Amino acid sequence: MQCYENIQDLRDHLSQIKAQNQTLGFVPTMGALHAGHLSLVRKAQTEVDQVIVSIFVNPAQFNNRSDLELYPRDLDSDLKLLEETGVDCVFTPTSELMYLQGHESWVSLENLPVPFEGAGRPGHFRGVSTVVSMLFNIVQPDLAVFGEKDFQQLRIIERMVEDLKFPVRIVRGELIRDEDGLALSSRNQRLSAEARQSALAISRGLFSARNLFTRGSRQASELLGVYLSEIESEPDLTLHYAALVDEQDLAEIQVVKENRPARILTAVEVAGVRLLDNIAMQAA
């Protein structure tokens, strides 16, 4: 496994791969890797010859300094996991190389970043779309895999690639959960055993909503109702948002219509840790 910190060294390596007509898949991450990230790597491996993973805790997408400082980092363990998974190349740039002194170019979308994560975290998605654009320009992959775990982010990247004609195919990776149902997240490391137990109400509530959907319910009031009653039953949880949305434009909907994929998106805070989750409204 080749590791690069320097952009030019990485470009030299990747141009050799291109010269051999090998296809390249890319999985951008912020490290503290878990089975969710590795599932994206495996997905890429089924489609391309070589897989590159980036590990970069992007300061521009943190609107809160302490969140950036508390973000878990464990490069040694990450590299070991990637090596074991058969990744070909890892890119670990520094902030100074990514954001040059005097940096003033940003990529931002009009509407998709406004609600949900964008409303609670000003500038967050501008940071995401900018760093992903930079990474695409550096790596120039044939495809890139993003997880459905961050569904709003995924839609933003898909829209950006379409609008700005990036020559890359975006592939969706399914949301991976722990055995107890909690969506895997690097932030779960910050949960005490007690907080984690309370957090299980999130996936429990989402599964209840999906079961209700499977039994025929299509109304936001009913589907969100069962979810919210689980959240309200746990005094340690603070709801940031829960919404039933159209998967395409993320507009809130009152009723799920035939042939219009819909999803519940939610963010909940547990003991100072903000957790995201979502579930597709499709028959279980």
CA distance 70 to 77: 18
Contact stretch for ligand AMP (CB under 6 A) within 2-10, 69-77, 113-121, 175-183:
175-183
Question: Which lies closer to ligand AMP via its Cβ, residue 34 or residue 218?
Answer: 34
Least distance from C-beta 128 to ligand AMP, angstroms? 9
E strands along the chain, which residues?
2-4, 24-29, 50-55, 89-91, 143-147, 169-173, 237-246, 262-270, 273-280
Q: Is 97 helix (H, G, I), strand (E, B) or coil?
A: helix
Which among 34, 37, 124, 240 is annotated as catalytic?
37
CA distance 91 to 58: 13
Site for ligand AMP in 17-76 (CB under 6 A): 29-30, 36-37, 39-40
Give residues with Cβ within 8 angstroms of 9, minimum separation 6: none
Residue 159 identity (one-letter amino acid): R
Least distance from C-beta 196 to ligand AMP, angstroms? 15
Active site annotation includes 37: yes
Picking from 248, 245, 228, 240, the residue whose alpha carbon sits closest to that of residue 272 is: 240
Question: Which lies closer to ligand AMP via its Cβ, residue 93 or residue 173?
Answer: 173
Contact letters for ligand AMP, residues 131-170 (x by CB under 6 A) = ---------------xx-xx--------------------
Contact stretch for ligand AMP (CB under 6 A) within 44-52, 119-127, 172-180, 250-258:
172-180
Contact stretch for ligand AMP (CB under 6 A) within 66-74, 89-97, 114-122, 173-181:
173-181
Question: Which lies closer to ligand AMP via its Cβ, residue 40 or residue 201?
Answer: 40
Distances (CA, A) of 46 to 106, 143, 155, 221: 33, 12, 22, 40
CA distance 86 to 225: 44
Site for ligand AMP in 209-248 (CB under 6 A): none
Q: Checking DSSP bridges between strand 273-280 and strand 262-270, what pairing results, if any?
A: antiparallel
Q: Which residue in 135, 138, 183, 224 binds ligand AMP (CB under 6 A)?
A: 183
Contact stretch for ligand AMP (CB under 6 A) within 70-78, 183-191, 196-204, 212-220:
183-191
Enumerate the β-bridge partners of residue 278: 265
Question: Which lies closer to ligand AMP via its Cβ, residue 35 or residue 255?
Answer: 35
Q: Which residue in 135, 173, 213, 268 binds ligand AMP (CB under 6 A)?
A: 173
Give residues with Cβ within 8 angstroms of 46, minimum separation 6: none
Least distance from C-beta 267 to ligand AMP, angstroms? 14
Question: Which lies closer to ligand AMP via its Cβ, residue 88 or residue 155?
Answer: 155
CA distance 64 to 71: 11
Q: Checking DSSP bridges between strand 143-147 and strand 169-173, what pairing results, if any?
A: parallel
Active-site residue list: 37
Q: Which residues bind ligand AMP (CB under 6 A)?
A: 29-30, 36-37, 39-40, 146-147, 149-150, 173, 175-176, 183-186
